[in-house]
Structure 1
Amino acid sequence: MYKLIAIDIDDTLINDDKEVTPATQQALEQAVAKGAVVTLATGRAYASAQAIARQTGLNVPIITYQGALVKNLLDEQVLYERYMPKVAAHKLFEYCIENNLHLQTYIDDKLYAREENQKIIDYTILNKTKYYIEPDFSKLVAQPTPKMLIIDEPDYLDEIAPVLRELLGDGVHITKSKPHFLEIMHHEGTKGHALKFLAAHFGCELSECIAIGDSWNDHEMLEAAGLGVAMGNAIPALKDIADYVTTSNNEDGVKHVIDKFVLGVEV
């Protein structure tokens, strides 16, 4: 039996209307009732992710910031935390200044940008979070952060990603959560590392874990889990490495997985 289910939020658990459907909610509850631990694994900040987790009735640790922070919902105890290396954070900040790029950072679960623009406004509308403007961004860069994020055109981000890997070194992990979002964390700040930590925390084998996602930032956890599931709306590269492809986020793809692999319902 599968004992731990890690589910991405955007375009996976929630549909295009940003909702968890009643059918998917019921499936989550049935999985928990059968003894499975259901958790979220997201690039979102804890503040944003916990609102959705509480809405679905979960009370377990959740994986946030791509895996850089695992935190209890019940008492908000931090179980796993990986900050971005400070030297890399400073180099990234300098690179973004020189190339006039929009850079965001998170300090104490608050989102900061250097200036107000449409990119930060659209991002926070999408994630339903507040943002703060700090013109003297260098003083923020000196503080511990689980994640920094560049927003730009997808092709341009693909172009600069290898440049940044070279510049920032092996201490960081760089991934895309969405085509316009390039995210930079500690090299152990991945959903795969966090899933391995949570499996050990709950005393289960990775072979007893299910991971469900849609974007390339999910690939580490799909590869780590006993059953890696790509959504029907997932990017082709993720479907290629998945053990199973479910229906889309608008067709209760998460419910389909739980019914088939946890509840044993014919689908």
Structure 2
Amino acid sequence: MYKLIAIDIDDTLINDDKEVTPATQQALEQAVAQGVIVTLATGRAYAGAYKLARQTGLNVPIITYQGALIKNLLDEEVLFERYLPIDAATKLFDYCLENNLHLQTYIDDKLYAREENQKLIDYTNLNGTKYYIEPDFIKVVVQPTPKMLIIDDPDYLDEITPVLRELLGEEVHITKSKPHFLEIMHKEGTKGHALKFLSAHFGCELSQTIAIGDSWNDHEMLEAAGLGVAMGNAIPALKEIADYITASNNEDGVKQVIDKFVLGE
């Protein structure tokens, strides 16, 4: 019997129109009515994830910033928080400055960038985030952040990832949420760590958890969960490690998982 389901948001829970379909919404409600804990696990900032969680009627802690922040929806209590080490943040800033890369950071759930450009505009249009410009960017770089993000060509990001791993050391976790988004967090800022934390928090075994996702940043939670599910639209590497592959985000893939493994339909 599964007791906890962690669901990624973008390209998983929501379809390409950025909506949770009525059918998926009904399945979520049915799972909750049966006493199953349904949570979201996303790379998004808490503010962006909060809106969607509220719309879907969830009232439990949600996993945000790839797992660097777990916060209760009801009273906004922070249950788990990991900041990117300041020395890693400053090294990353210097590297991006030297290589003319677009870098953004999050302070108190607000998004900051050094300058306004098309990458920033496209990013914020994608997830409806408000942004702030700070030309003297080092001011925000030295403040505690759950996540920094580089936006660039996917192949170029793949090229610099090993360089950044070497530069920033073992205290950081580097992953991709989308092909052109490279995200840098504290080493414990992973959805896998967060799932383990929440499973202990709610007193259930990891074998009683389901994790559903589509991107490589979901692989830690799929590997940690009792049942790791890849969406039909997931990247091939995630499908390879999944226990089950469901339908795509445009075909109510999340509903299919809940029907099959939770409601027994």
Whether TM exceeds 0.5 here: the answer is yes
After TM superposition, give the deviation of residue 86 of structure 1 in Å.
0.6
Specify the SS of the correspondent of 1:144. Answer: coil
- Give 1:20-31 correspondences, 5 Å limit: 20-31=20-31
**Distance between the aligned counterparts of 2:200 and 2:119, measured in 1?**
38
Match of 1:248 in 2: 248
Match of 1:217 in 2: 217
Match of 1:125 in 2: 125
Match of 1:38 in 2: 38
Match of 1:160 in 2: 160
Match of 1:7 in 2: 7
Task: Please state if 1:56 is matched with 2:56.
Answer: yes
**Distance between the aligned counterparts of 2:259 and 2:100, measured in 1?**
48
Q: 1:89-123: per-residue Cα shift (whole Å, max 9, x none)?
A: 00000000000000000000000000000111111
TM-score by length of 1: 0.99
**Distance between the aligned counterparts of 1:250 and 1:142, measured in 2?**
41
Match of 2:203 in 1: 203
Specify the SS of the correspondent of 2:125. Answer: helix
Q: 1:114-165: per-residue Cα shift (whole Å, max 9, x none)?
A: 0000111111111111000000110111100000000000000000000000
**Distance between the aligned counterparts of 1:159 and 1:52, measured in 2?**
34
After TM superposition, give the deviation of residue 209 of structure 1 in Å.
0.2
TM-score by length of 2: 1.00
**Distance between the aligned counterparts of 1:121 and 1:54, measured in 2?**
25
After TM superposition, give the deviation of residue 14 of structure 1 in Å.
0.1
Count of aligned positions: 265
After TM superposition, give the deviation of residue 85 of structure 1 in Å.
0.6
**Distance between the aligned counterparts of 1:184 and 1:56, measured in 2?**
29
After TM superposition, give the deviation of residue 252 of structure 1 in Å.
0.1
Match of 1:96 in 2: 96
Kindly provide the amino acid, as one letter, of the partner of residue 44 in structure 1: R
Runs (4+) of structure 1 exceeding 2 A deviation are none
**Distance between the aligned counterparts of 1:69 and 1:190, measured in 2?**
10
After TM superposition, give the deviation of residue 248 of structure 1 in Å.
0.2
After TM superposition, give the deviation of residue 243 of structure 1 in Å.
0.2
**Distance between the aligned counterparts of 2:168 and 2:246, measured in 1?**
36
**Distance between the aligned counterparts of 1:199 and 1:137, measured in 2?**
38
- Give 1:61-100 correspondences, 5 Å limit: 61-100=61-100
Q: Which sections of structure 2, spanning at least 5 residues, go unmatched?
A: none
**Distance between the aligned counterparts of 1:53 and 1:33, measured in 2?**
16
Kindly provide the amino acid, as one letter, of the partner of residue 9 in structure 2: I
Kindly provide the amino acid, as one letter, of the partner of residue 216 in structure 1: W
The sequence identity of aligned pairs, in percent, is 87
Specify the SS of the correspondent of 2:250. Answer: helix
Match of 1:106 in 2: 106
